[in-house]
Chains A and B, each alone.
Chain A
Amino acid sequence: MTTRESTDASAAVPTPAPRRAPSGAVADVVLTVLLLALFGWGFLEAAQWSFQAALFPRIVTGSAFVLAALHLVHALLRLRRRAALTSDGSADTLAAEAEAEADADADDAVQLFRTAGPQRWAAALGWVVGFFVLLFVGGLFVTAPVFSLLYLRFAGGRTWVFSAVYAVVTGVVLYLAFEVALGVPTPPGLFLN
């Protein structure tokens, strides 16, 4: 729903329909609670160590716990304020706030990560997982051509010939650079490990 649409809707209906809190505000609360738990665990874990080993971790985790708690309060207040605005029917205020937030974060990556649907996310993550599993099993010099070929053919929609040429060139360039010229070790794969 665009800002324009939401504004029009609020003008037509006297009592606006209840809105859900923006996902960013809820995510802030969830992430802060997770971090709070992590810092709390870190602080308690340090109790098992000697004074010297535990001093700096306790300073760090203790301070971080307090800061995360402050942020949690801040995030909860923000959620409550939004809820109050919703119940007051201040849809315009919320719309303006959402617009301001969108302007503040007018970054391609933010928008893309927000708007990409589950199918695109699943496909992208599937390819990533496939790549790293192949890398672990087959090593670099198998993964480079095989993944390039499959990704370009099926995700990139290129022809078999183009994909094959790209795959071979990538494999050869990496082999020459890392194996022949620099002699730097690369992931060998499960069978050569």
Chain B
Amino acid sequence: MLTDALSGLAQVFQPVPLMLMLLGVAIGFVVGILPGLGGAVTLALMLPFTFDMQPVEAFAFLLGMWVVTSTTGDITSVLFGVPGEATSAATVLDGHPMTKRGEGGRALGAVLLSSALGAVFGALVLALSIPVIRPIVLAFGPPEFFALTLLGLTFVVALSGQRLLKGFVMAGLGLMVALVGLDPQEGVPRYTFDQLYLWDGIGIVPLVVGLFGGAEVLQLMLSRRSIARAEPGAAPDTSLAGVGQGVRDVFQHWGLVIRSSAIGTGVGIVPGLGGSVAQFMAYGAAQQSSKTPELFGKGAVEGVIASGAVNNAKDSGSLIPTIGFGIPGGAGSAVLLSAFLIVGLNPGEEMLTTSLDVTFSMIWVTVLANFIAVAAAFLLLKPLTRITFISGPLLVPFLLLLLALGAYTANNSFADVLVMIGAAAIGVACIRYDWPRVPFLLAVVLGSLAERYLFLSHSLFGWSWLARPIVLAIGVVMVLAVVTPVVRRVRARDRGMRDQKIEETA
């Protein structure tokens, strides 16, 4: 195996694959920053260029591009509150508030370094898992997948803190939105109001862009100030000092990086769950384990680190079932699967035995491409953070155009722009009246998956699937996720009342 690993590395460092990887990284860097143009779309657009390439060349180009979009998608999330990718939505929650406080450099330093470390972790797991892929993936059936979707939702609702009930109601609304479209079993149109556009359901990209980006742009229009604010009388802090702090933050929270990367890789392995789920699960877990959970959503660097680490680790995770079984973990790996077939590789036994060097070359590309992208991003940090101190009205036209493009390019439909506007209205109302947005978003993502896996579970096992060990274990984690914050809050209240009584008697 070591020989194959070294052979894979040597193949990546040949001139042609190396140049193609750099080209892929450059394309992925730009595409990741542009909202709405996801990694999967870019892969699909670039796939025809790989027809005449050797396997290692094709993967250097495609993988180099794909993994970088996850990293750079976080940049717009942090700076403008507009997610570059649907999978960068959780980064907005804390990254953008940090930018508003003038800590954009620190947030970017933290998210970029944690992304790079997450990529290394994911690649390491991918390399180590090669001998044991089959039993791991086979242990998960529809009941376990269903339990995982509920776990993701529970984690996020638990994020609502004191507004737990509101979180559940918003999750209900999100699930209802997810139900819009043709019923997957019988093709019955549900909540479509006889509109053909709604038969396909409501797209996640316009929803994410509107829910988070729309509210931010309106805020800029109302305030007419820059995104970031310096202390009165002080010069804007666009120095790189904050970046160093962000890097130190990552090393101080190394356990969080490993845990979030593990969640990313784990969720990435499960076909169909996708990066958004992984990000919110890691974010929820980070909040639950934090000593200052109340800071989450208001600019907690731990939230930024968790979101960054999980994003790249999940890409490597989704390669595990793709390579092992030919089952893509998500849209991006589904396009990669096509690339396997185009260059004449068969997923499964062949990629784990005779073509193991090619498989290892893919692992090396994921690591190298990430480090190149992160290094390039660090070089560009100063001008990037300076953008956030530009006057608000100057940014508004550009950001409005990005919002519209982000929504439109998902399906090339103006109806998606209307969905984005509706989502923006929901986002503004949520902020104004203190209703949590994240449970709504994640419920939309998970709704169709949950329904599919529930049906499969019931069809295959009746109700006996509820007693399966992994399902039970996930159930226990779900209960803990809801109960722990409530218990913690009650304890804090009791402690406060006790302190007050002591003060009164004194």
Q: Interface residues, chain A, CB within 8 Å of chain B? A: 24, 27-28, 31-32, 35, 38-39, 42, 45-46, 49-50, 52-53, 56-57, 60-61, 63-64, 67-68, 70-71, 74, 104-110, 112-114, 116, 120-121, 124, 127-128, 131-132, 135-136, 140, 143-144, 147-148, 151-152, 155-158, 166, 170, 174, 177-178, 182-187
Contact = CB atoms under 8 A, between A and B. Distances in A.
Contacts of A67: 165, 168-169, 172
Given A56-B455, A57-B190, A140-B405, 4 more contacts: A56-B450, A71-B165, A107-B97, A135-B417
Contacts of B396: 127, 151, 155-156
B435 A107 contact: no
B397 A53 contact: no
B351 interface: no
B484 interface: no
Given A38-B176, A68-B169, A187 B218 contact: no
User: Is chain A's interface secondary structure helix, strand, loop, or mixed overall?
Assistant: helix
B221 to A, nearest CB: 4
Nearest to B443: A60
Nearest to B188: A53
Interface in B28-48: 30-31, 34, 37, 45
A110 B435 CA distance: 11
B397 A35 contact: no
User: Is chain B's interface secondary structure helix, strand, loop, or mixed overall?
Assistant: helix
Which 5 residue pairs across A and B have the least CB separation, nearest first?
A: A64-B172, A156-B393, A148-B397, A53-B188, A53-B183
Contacts of B248: none
B397 A152 contact: yes
Contacts of B447: 60
A106 B101 CA distance: 13
Contact of B408 (A61, A63, A124, A187): A187
A50 B393 contact: no
Interface in B398-415: 398, 400-401, 404-405, 408-409, 412, 414
A69 B414 CA distance: 36
Max count, chain B CB within 10 A of own CB: residue among A45, A50, A60? A60
24 contacts: A27-B433, A53-B185, A53-B188, A57-B176, A63-B172, A67-B165, A109-B219, A116-B222, A121-B222, A124-B221, A128-B221, A135-B404, A135-B417, A144-B397, A156-B393, A156-B396, A158-B394, A166-B394, A170-B397, A174-B405, A178-B405, A182-B37, A184-B45, A186-B409
Contacts of B215: 109
A184 B183 contact: no
A71 B169 contact: yes
Contacts of B169: 32, 35, 64, 67-68, 71
Contacts of A183: 45
Contacts of A148: 397-398
Contact of B173 (A35, A57, A112, A136): A35
A166 B398 CA distance: 10
B428 interface: yes
B25 to A, nearest CB: 16
Interface in B145-170: 162, 165-166, 168-169
A90 to B, nearest CB: 17
A178 B450 CA distance: 36
A33 B325 CA distance: 49
Given A67-B169, A156-B391, A147 B431 contact: no
Contacts of B221: 124, 127-128, 155
Contacts of B455: 52, 56
Given A67-B169, A182-B45, A113 B175 contact: no
A24 B434 contact: yes
A151 B397 CA distance: 7
Max count, chain A CB within 10 A of own CB: residue among B165, B454, B455? B165
B400 A131 contact: yes
A189 to B, nearest CB: 10
B65 interface: no
